[in-house]
Amino acid sequence: MTERAGKPMIARIWRGRTRRERADEYEAYNYEVGVKPLIEKALGVQCLREDRGDESEFVTISYWESIEAMSRFTGGDPTKIHHLDRDAEFLIALPERVQVLRIRASHGNTGADGR
């Protein structure tokens, strides 16, 4: 697969967990401060949430045409975690890394407009 402008070739995946009673508040904060800037620069963004027991897990997947495009957005190493100002207040543990995966195949409608 070759890299083509405008076609997602890379997925950057961030995960974080918060206490269930703070999940709605964190979701709103994360969307305003963390996701909106991604929407402006990435080719696409998905925000996922799983509530289980007394905690909630959030997963944000952003799609990029290349590692270089991610680097331009992050201003450096795209695999480095960039914590939001209030992450330590909300998250059970601060994530130590993000995953950066090359997209090998993508079929069908994989997005959902939740906003």
Q: What is the pLDDT of residues 32-44, one digit of tens each?
A: 999 999 999 999 9
Alpha helices in 1-115 (DSSP H): 23-29, 36-41, 67-74, 87-90
Written as one letter, the residue type at 107 is H
DSSP state at residue 1 = -
Q: Between 56 and 79, where is the model more confident?
A: 56
Show the domains of the chain with their CATH numbers.
10-102 (3.30.70.100)
- Reported as a single tens digit per residue, the pLDDT across 3-60 is 445 688 999 999 999 999 999 999 999 999 999 999 999 999 999 999 999 999 999 9
Q: Do 48 and 56 touch, CB atoms closer than 8 A?
A: no
The reported pTM is: 0.86
Nearest-angstrom CA–CA distance, 11 and 17:
20
109's tokens? 């409608």
Q: Is the pLDDT of residue 110 over 90?
A: no
The distance of Cα 102 from the centroid of its chain, to the nearest Å, equals: 15
